[in-house]
Amino acid sequence: MNTVLDTVVIGGGAMGSAAAWALSRRGRQVTLVEQFGPAHKIGASHGATRNLNPGYHQPDYVDMLAEGLALWEELEQESGEQLLARTGIVTHGPGGDLPKVFDSLSAAGIEAEFLEPAEATERWRGIRFDRQVLHMPDGGQLNPEAALPAFQRLAISRGAEIRHDTKVVDFKVFDDGVRLTLEGAAGTEVVTAAQAVVTAGGWTEKLLAKVRGNDAAAFRIPRLRVTQEQPAHFRVADAGAVWPGFNHYPGPDYRGWYSPVYGMLTPGEGVKAGWHGVGPEVDPDHRDFLPEPRQLAALQDYARQWLPGVDADSFEAISCTYTTTPDEDFVLDRIGPVVIGAGFSGHGFKFTPVIGRILADLATGTRPAPEIFRASR
């Protein structure tokens, strides 16, 4: 049997769910297929907290921040779910272009202020500060475990179909559409669609490698490096401490490599802290989910030095993936009848509803994505 569809979204993580939501709002017929079950922990969209960090100065990202803050509020109202806790975000350390960030956010109407270390310590005694701190009150924590079902539930209410445990095993592209062979619990099915939206996270290159057809060679995108990241939830030792989300640039010589550190309080689990994008490269289908000992030990040392409000010896390790482009800018583009959203490089979740909107724009031909996200850059 050959089923004829309008738009198939391949990958039901954050970006695919947002794309289904955005397309369904425009009255488009959407079928989302996800190779794993609901709420799986194999990719990048699980867990209860992600920082909504406004710390950008590049114009395209600042524009997306402003739009994203409004869309998250809209999604909360529409779904009846609280998705964002506005704890604020603090950034400190000798990197990060903080004066540029302050100027760009202020110009865009997004709150930002500089604080001296003593004032920051008085407000947030669980963190140690040794220099000026950029405080961004509009930031906070997003909840993926609530957001993904909200996107999908709202998409379904407008007629979208969500198929979990359904894998694309063959992918053929024509001038006027795509033909996909899907394998799920009910068996194998061939579907034809006007277009496909690929939001497959760490599996993007594997999926695009299946593309067949006259234009298969066109599906070249920047290399995607899939890494297994290994943050940890540390037990809170100071029950009276107030925790904003935080980002720290400890310097190029810290523990033998340079990496920013990010963190936040996850209610009921502790204070999450992790290195940014320096985990070992992995095949997403063959991960051990275990922390790399040297990086874990360095993270504990970091917590001892910079997070006095936690117990660095009492923690629960976490495992997730980053899918990173060489320049850490996203891939948001259309190639023939295929729209690609990939390479979110460990900083994409805050933009999820905006990325859904951009993918819907690309799928409907409304407008292109910003130039920095072109696949051919």
Residues 10-47 as b/e (b if ≥16 CB within 10 A, e otherwise) read: bbbbbbbbbbbbbbbeeebbbbbbbbbeeeeebbbbbb
Do 166 and 277 lie in one domain? The reply is: no
Quote the CA–CA distance of 19 and 304 in Å, as a whole number: 41
Q: In this predicted structure, what is the pLDDT of residue 368?
A: 94
The answer to whether residue 85 scores a pLDDT higher than 60 is yes
pLDDT per residue over 90-107, tens digit each?
999 988 899 999 999 999
Do 305 and 332 lie in one domain? The reply is: no
Count CB atoms within 10 A of the CB of residue 184: 14
The helix (run of H) or strand (run of E) holding residue 248 is: strand 245-248
Determine, yes or no, domain membership for 67.
Answer: no
Q: Which of 99, 351, 120, 343 is nearest to 246 (CA)?
A: 120
Q: Identify the DSSP state of 295.
A: H
Determine, yes or no, domain membership for 68.
Answer: no
Question: Of 36-40, 149-153, 251-255, which range is least confident?
Answer: 251-255
Cβ pair 330, 342 in contact under 8 A: yes
Do 120 and 239 lie in one domain? The reply is: yes
Question: Of 10-14, 87-91, 121-125, 250-254, which range is least confident?
Answer: 250-254
Determine, yes or no, domain membership for 93.
Answer: yes
Q: The CATH number of the domain where 288 resides is what?
A: 3.30.9.10
Residue 251 confidence class, pLDDT cut points 50, 70, 90: confident
Determine, yes or no, domain membership for 53.
Answer: no
Do 269 and 332 lie in one domain? The reply is: no
Q: How many domains does the chain have?
A: 2
The helix (run of H) or strand (run of E) holding residue 320 is: strand 320-324
- Which residue in this structure is represented by tokens 């933009």? 351
Q: In this predicted structure, what is the pLDDT of residue 68?
A: 98
Do 188 and 255 lie in one domain? The reply is: no
Average pLDDT on 123-139 reads 97
Determine, yes or no, domain membership for 64.
Answer: no
Residue 254 confidence class, pLDDT cut points 50, 70, 90: low
Count CB atoms within 10 A of the CB of residue 138: 18
Q: In this predicted structure, what is the pLDDT of residue 220?
A: 87
Residue 257 confidence class, pLDDT cut points 50, 70, 90: low
Q: Is the dihedral of CA 38, 43, 45, 50 positive or negative?
A: positive
Cα 277 to Cα 48, 104, 257, 280, 344: the distances in Å are 19, 25, 12, 9, 11
SS3 4: strand
The predicted model scores a pTM of: 0.96
Q: Which of 291, 309, 324 is the last residue of a domain?
A: 324
The answer to whether residue 364 scores a pLDDT higher than 90 is yes
Q: In this predicted structure, what is the pLDDT of residue 3?
A: 82
Count CB atoms within 10 A of the CB of residue 109: 9
Contact partners, residue 353, CB within 8 Å, separation at least 6: 18, 21, 22, 68, 71, 72, 74, 75
Q: In this predicted structure, what is the pLDDT of residue 280?
A: 94
Average pLDDT on 279-290 reads 96
Q: Which of 251, 260, 243 is nearest to 139 (CA)?
A: 243
Residue 253 confidence class, pLDDT cut points 50, 70, 90: low
Do 180 and 314 lie in one domain? The reply is: no
pLDDT per residue over 26-43, tens digit each?
999 999 999 999 999 999
Helix 352-364 vs helix 14-25: crossing angle, to nearest 10: 50
Average pLDDT on 158-187 reads 95
The answer to whether residue 109 scores a pLDDT higher than 90 is yes
Residues 145-174 as b/e (b if ≥16 CB within 10 A, e otherwise) read: eebbebbbbbbbebebebbbebebeebbbe
Do 152 and 295 lie in one domain? The reply is: no
Average pLDDT on 133-149 reads 98
Q: In this predicted structure, what is the pLDDT of residue 219?
A: 83
The answer to whether residue 287 scores a pLDDT higher than 90 is yes
Q: In this predicted structure, what is the pLDDT of residue 212?
A: 83
Do 161 and 193 lie in one domain? The reply is: yes
Residue 143 confidence class, pLDDT cut points 50, 70, 90: very high
Contact partners, residue 369, CB within 8 Å, separation at least 6: 332, 333, 358, 361, 362
Do 154 and 242 lie in one domain? The reply is: no
Residue 1 confidence class, pLDDT cut points 50, 70, 90: low
Cα 105 to Cα 68, 84, 88, 144: the distances in Å are 14, 19, 14, 25
What is the extent of the structural domain holding 39? 2-46+146-223+326-373
Residue 214 confidence class, pLDDT cut points 50, 70, 90: low
Determine, yes or no, domain membership for 58.
Answer: no
The percentage of the chain sitting over the pLDDT mark of 90, rounded to a whole number, equals 92
Do 215 and 305 lie in one domain? The reply is: no
pLDDT per residue over 327-362, tens digit each?
999 999 999 999 999 999 999 999 999 999 999 999
Determine, yes or no, domain membership for 69.
Answer: no
Q: The CATH number of the domain where 360 resides is what?
A: 3.50.50.60
Contact partners, residue 300, CB within 8 Å, separation at least 6: 312, 313, 315
Cα 241 to Cα 136, 159, 377: the distances in Å are 18, 46, 45
Helix 144-157 vs helix 14-25: crossing angle, to nearest 10: 30
The percentage of the chain sitting over the pLDDT mark of 70, rounded to a whole number, equals 97
Q: Which of 293, 308, 324 is the last residue of a domain?
A: 324
SS3 113: strand
Determine, yes or no, domain membership for 365.
Answer: yes
Do 205 and 254 lie in one domain? The reply is: no
Mean model confidence pLDDT for the chain: 95
Q: Which residues pair with 9 in a beta bridge?
A: 32, 197
pLDDT per residue over 53-74, tens digit each?
999 999 999 999 999 999 999 9
Do 232 and 218 lie in one domain? The reply is: no
Q: In this predicted structure, what is the pLDDT of residue 40?
A: 93
Average pLDDT on 214-237 reads 90
